[in-house]
Amino acid sequence: MVTPIAEELAKSQKSISVAEFFEKNRQILGFDSAPRSLITTVKEAVDNSLDACEESGILPDILLHVERAGKDNVVTIVEDNGPGIVKEQIPKVFAKLLYGSRFHALKQSRGQQGIGISASVLYAQLTSGHPAKIISKIDPGKPAHNYELMINTSTNEPEILKDAIVDWDRPHGTRIEMEMEASYVKGRRQSIYEYLKATAIVNPHARIKLVEPDGNEVIFERATDKIPIPANEVLPHPQGIELGTLMKMLRYTERQKLSPFLRYSFSRIGHLTAEEICKASGLDPELDPHELNRDQARKLLDSFSKVKIMAPPTDCLSPIGEDLIYKGLEKEFRVDFISTTTRSPSVFSGNPFVVEVGIAYGGELQKDDRIDIMRFANRVPLLYQQGGCVTTHAIESIKWKQYGLNQPGGGIPTGPAVILVHVASTNVPFTSESKDAIAEIPEIKDEIELAVKEVARKLSRFLSKQDSLKKRREKEVIIKKVLPKMAHKLSLTLNREVPDINPVVAKVMGNLLVDRMIESNGNGDARASIAIRVKNYSSKKWEFNIHDMLPFKVEGAVPQPRVISMGNDYDHVWKISVSPGSSKVIRYSVATLDENEISRLPSLIVEGLDEELVTGAKAIKG
């Protein structure tokens, strides 16, 4: 009797472990080239360190050391000051794929699936044949455990090659060392340096030290000691729940009645809301949820949209915040203008999310290239697949000419600018397991567009003001070339001293005039009287600070200044408000000054106004 073909085929069919799958499909996880494999490994290790530190309330201090090991291999060492990992969990955390604590937790976090670092261990053992070396310590009074691990790809279980106790000078933390086939590149947007720079911008509370293969050290210092507010785990929101998911929840719930099932399975559903949902669906609140059929589940699902349910809670998110994004950009870029915004929370498919955007312009940024787009998801930089990301598509859809940037042929605009976009969510919808790009979710795209347009409007106002100030500057240069010559000729004709032309320049320009006049008191008085004259020739009311930095303290000042000691000098600060057309005078006395001392007195400084708006003194905006 001939054996049926189906039975012959059945003999060769068997299940495979997830480790075997990724062993043959490692490109899915981001291990598709030598440079990218190293970036992926560093990314996963640094993400784990940041998450562990933040969850424990520790300011992250991370060391990354990359060493060359032979022709095509590098050794990557990542060390942190986190809480450490208990001995029993170390092998599973580092040598078992899909093992983690965050997959079922509905809250914002960098990692979710438990694939990242174990995938790096898998790639390392495949390409170098060496195990991963881990040291972890949970307390100063506890020993440090040293493991050497590999992954059994047939079973997706850890193989322990070494288990020992070692001396380690850290009070607590974790260290992982892996050798792999990879390459360290410099001077590219997709490099270890650029990844860490981007990470430092959106994690300004972290200190990261990089030791490059040539021994060069780069330190990204923290810009704040404030640890992000931790995200809290929440229940799923009924908005956006799909029918199959709802049926699964009904089938496996521990609740015996429909009303309690609704209250304890979803966020924002209390007793009254549960009653309204049951009424809208035509279902008895006392029904056993396990007995609901498909049609009843559909009615329940439809009722979610009929009943007004509060938006999901946002304490499951931990956005960076406008101030810290500003500090991050300011720390890493030398620019002329920065604007940031954090949008109000929104929802897609029941998942709350927040979009944050920052824009930096001018300074040392390249003028003729396309703007630099920095994409982030849950504080993690996205370096690859920029063209396939909703962030890029949202930026490309904006008409940038109306905001002051060129956009030749549409697409990404050009100019000396950096746009930072951060999407924080309980479930970032990535386009693939490598987590390089965010999927085209309409709700997310709309929020990104609105946030980018908000900072773009502020940029447009800045550029418009800069253009106006440029014209004023050009006009003032011309005036200052002509008037001195006229004054000099006039003084020669009348046989008089050359007059001070600053008042005339200020009046013509409509500027703020600030100057210092020194007079002797006479009558044997050894002191000199000094007057600081402030005259507003503009049509606006100005508020600013005047700084008079002198090598001595003044006497009898009216009004009294705030005095700041600066070594051998004293900064005298007056807060001034001057309406259009009005003037104010500050007076004080000092010991007699000779002509040489008078000539060496530093210029007055006006703090809070652009230099083009002030005549007779230096001006600083900030």
pLDDT, the chain, mean: 84
Better-scored residue on pLDDT, 501 or 401: 401
CATH of region 502-620: 2.60.40.2960
Q: Which fold has domain 243-306?
A: Helicase, Ruva Protein; domain 3 (1.10.8)
Kindly state the average pLDDT of the residues 422-446: 87
- Does the pTM surpass 0.85? The reply is no
Q: What is the pLDDT of residues 190-229, one digit of tens each?
A: 888 988 998 998 888 999 999 999 999 999 998 888 888 7
Q: Quote the pLDDT of residue 20.
A: 58
Q: What is the pLDDT of residues 111-168, one digit of tens each?
A: 544 467 888 888 888 888 899 999 999 999 999 999 999 888 778 788 899 999 999 9
User: How many other C-beta atoms can be found within 10 angstroms of the C-beta atom of residue 168?
Assistant: 17
CATH 1.10.8.50 residue window(s) in the chain: 243-306
- Residue among 495, 382, 500, 372 nearest 437 (CA): 382
Q: Quote the pLDDT of residue 113.
A: 46
Q: What is the pLDDT of residues 241-295, one digit of tens each?
A: 788 888 999 999 999 999 999 999 888 889 999 999 999 999 999 999 999 999 9
Q: Quote the pLDDT of residue 102.
A: 47
Element (H, E) at 66: strand 61-69
Give me the count of residues in the chain. 622
Q: Specify the 3-state DSSP secondary structure of 505.
A: helix
178 burial class (0-12, 13-18, 19+ CB within 10 angstroms)? buried
Q: Quote the pLDDT of residue 122.
A: 85
What angle do helix axes 322-332 and 192-202 make, rounded to 10 degrees? 140
CATH 3.30.230.10 residue window(s) in the chain: 322-464
For the cut 50, the answer to whether the pLDDT of residue 104 exceeds it is: no
Q: Quote the pLDDT of residue 446.
A: 94
Q: Quote the pLDDT of residue 444.
A: 93
Q: Quote the pLDDT of residue 217.
A: 92
Q: What is the pLDDT of residues 4-20, one digit of tens each?
A: 777 666 666 555 555 55
Better-scored residue on pLDDT, 19 or 335: 335
CATH 3.30.565.10 fits 18-220, yes or no: yes
Q: Which pLDDT band holds residue 103 (cuts at 50, 70, 90)?
A: very low
Q: Quote the pLDDT of residue 22.
A: 58
Q: Quote the pLDDT of residue 529.
A: 83
Kindly state the average pLDDT of the residues 79-84: 92
Spell out a b/e string for 477-504, using b for 16 or more CB atoms within 10 Å of the CB, else e: eebeeebeeebeeeeeeeeeeeeebbbb
Strand 512-520, strand 569-578: pairing? unpaired
Q: Which CATH class is domain 322-464?
A: alpha beta
CATH 2.60.40.2960 residue window(s) in the chain: 502-620
Q: Quote the pLDDT of residue 15.
A: 54
CATH 3.30.565.10 residue window(s) in the chain: 18-220
Q: Quote the pLDDT of residue 565.
A: 87
Better-scored residue on pLDDT, 426 or 297: 297
Q: What is the pLDDT of residues 502-512, one digit of tens each?
A: 787 778 788 88
Kindly state the average pLDDT of the residues 230-245: 80
Q: Quote the pLDDT of residue 29.
A: 66
Percent of the chain with pLDDT strictly greater than 70:
86
